[in-house]
Amino acid sequence: MKVLVAVKRVIDYNVKVRVKPDNTGVDLANVKMAMNPFCEIAVEEAVRLKEKGVASEIVVVSIGPKACQEQIRTALALGADRGIHIETDEEVQSLEAAKLLKAVVEKEEPKLVILGKQSIDSDNNQTGQMLAALTGMGQGTFASEVVVDGEKVNVTREVDGGLMTVALNLPAVVTTDLRLNEPRYASLPNIMKAKKKPLDAMSPADLGVEIAPRLSTLKVEAPASRQAGIKVADVAELVDKLKNEAKVI
C-alpha cells in the first residue's frame, strides 16, 4: 500500500521566537528552520509501516518555498521513497494546503495519508482534518497507535479524557501525536542516498489550486510578560505567602 506523508518546514522548535519590531510577524531571517516535529513523527510512522511490510511506497510532499526541499530530502534520508514539492513563495493557509494535498491524493491514490497534528508555527491543527473532509476520508487525529488491518486501520487517539480507538475505512487520514513513536536520526549513508531519490516539483497552478488566503494577519505582538516573582526560603514561607499574600489557598 502507498503512504503519503505531508511535511512542513517550520522554525526549529528550539529557537526563541522574536516578534518583529513593526508587528508584522515574527523574525524568520537567519533563523534555523527544520521539519515540524509532528511531521517527523509522521515520516517515522510511515517508515515503520514499510519496515513491517505494510507500506510498499512512501511519498512525501511539502508545500512552500524552494527551501522546503531540504525537509523533503530529510524525509527521503529517513526512508521515504520519493518527494513532491509544491513550490510557492506565497503564504499557504491550512485550507489551501488541504486543497493542494487533495490534488496530490487524487493523483497518487495513497491508501493512507499521514500528517502532523499541528504545525508549531501557526499552531493551527486543521490541515489533516480538512484534507480528510475534502477527500471524503475518515480521520484518526492525534494518533498514539496506528494498526493497519486489511481494508481498515485502527487508530488510537489521545483525547481529553484519555485514549479512544476508532476504526477507519481505507483510504484514511491519520494525524500524529507525540507518543506515536520516537523518530530516528538519518544516517550519513542514507543522507547521501537521499540525494539521488526522485523529487518532483510543481506549482499550485499545475494542480489547479488557486492560493487565495481567507485570513489576513493585522498584527503580531509579543505576549504580555509576567512580573518577575520572588524566591522563598523554605516551604513554610511558601505556604504563608500563598495564604496571606496571594490568598489563593
Partner 1 sequence: MSILVIAEHDNSSLKQATLNVVAAAKAIGGDIDVLVAGENVGAIAEAAAKAEGVNKVLVADNAAYGHFLAENLGELVAEVGKGYSHILTSAGTTGKDFMPRVAALLDVAQVSDIIRVESADTFVRPIYAGNAIATVKASDSIKVITVRPTGFDPVAAEGGSASVEQLDVVKDAGLSSFVGEEKAKSDRPDLASAGIVISGGRGMQNGENFKMLEQVADLMGAAMGASRAAVDAGFVPNDMQVGQTGKIVAPQLYVAIGISGAIQHLAGMSDSKVIVAINKDEEAPIFQVADYGLVADLFEAVPQFEEELKKVL
Ligand X SMILES: Nc1ncnc2c1ncn2[C@@H]1O[C@H](COP(=O)(O)O)[C@@H](O)[C@H]1O
> 1, 2, 19, 65: which one contacts partner 1 (CB under 8 A)?
19
Q: Which of 30, 24, 93 is nearest to 64 (CA)?
A: 93
Least CB distance to ligand FAD at residue 118 (A) = 8
CA dihedral angle for residue 185, residue 186, residue 187, residue 193, rounded to 10 degrees: 170
226 binds, among partner 1, ligand X, ligand FAD, none (CB under 5 to 8 A by kind): partner 1
39 binds, among ligand X, ligand FAD, partner 1, none (CB under 5 to 8 A by kind): ligand X
136 binds partner 1 (CB under 8 A): yes
Binding map of partner 1 across residues 42-71, x = CB under 8 A, - = no contact: ------------------------------
13 binds ligand FAD (CB under 6 A): yes
120 binds ligand FAD (CB under 6 A): yes
CA 95, 33, 223, 26 dihedral sign is negative
> 2, 70, 82, 124: which one contacts ligand X (CB under 6 A)?
124
Under DSSP, is residue 198 helix (H, G, I), strand (E, B) or coil? Answer: coil
Beta partners for residue 62, in sequence order = 85
19 binds, among partner 1, ligand X, ligand FAD, none (CB under 5 to 8 A by kind): partner 1
Q: Which amino acid is present at 198?
A: P
Under DSSP, is residue 40 helix (H, G, I), strand (E, B) or coil? Answer: helix
- Reading the block at residue 178, the C-alpha cell is 507525540
> 55, 73, 81, 118: which one contacts ligand X (CB under 6 A)?
118
Q: Which helix or strand (DSSP H or E) is residue 164 part of?
A: strand 162-169
Least CB distance to ligand FAD at residue 198 (A) = 29
Binding map of partner 1 across residues 144-183, x = CB under 8 A, - = no contact: x---------x--xxxxxxxxxxxxx--x----xxx----
With 0-12 / 13-18 / 19 or more C-beta atoms within 10 angstroms meaning exposed / middle / buried, residue 190 is: middle
- Reading the block at residue 247, the C-alpha cell is 490568598
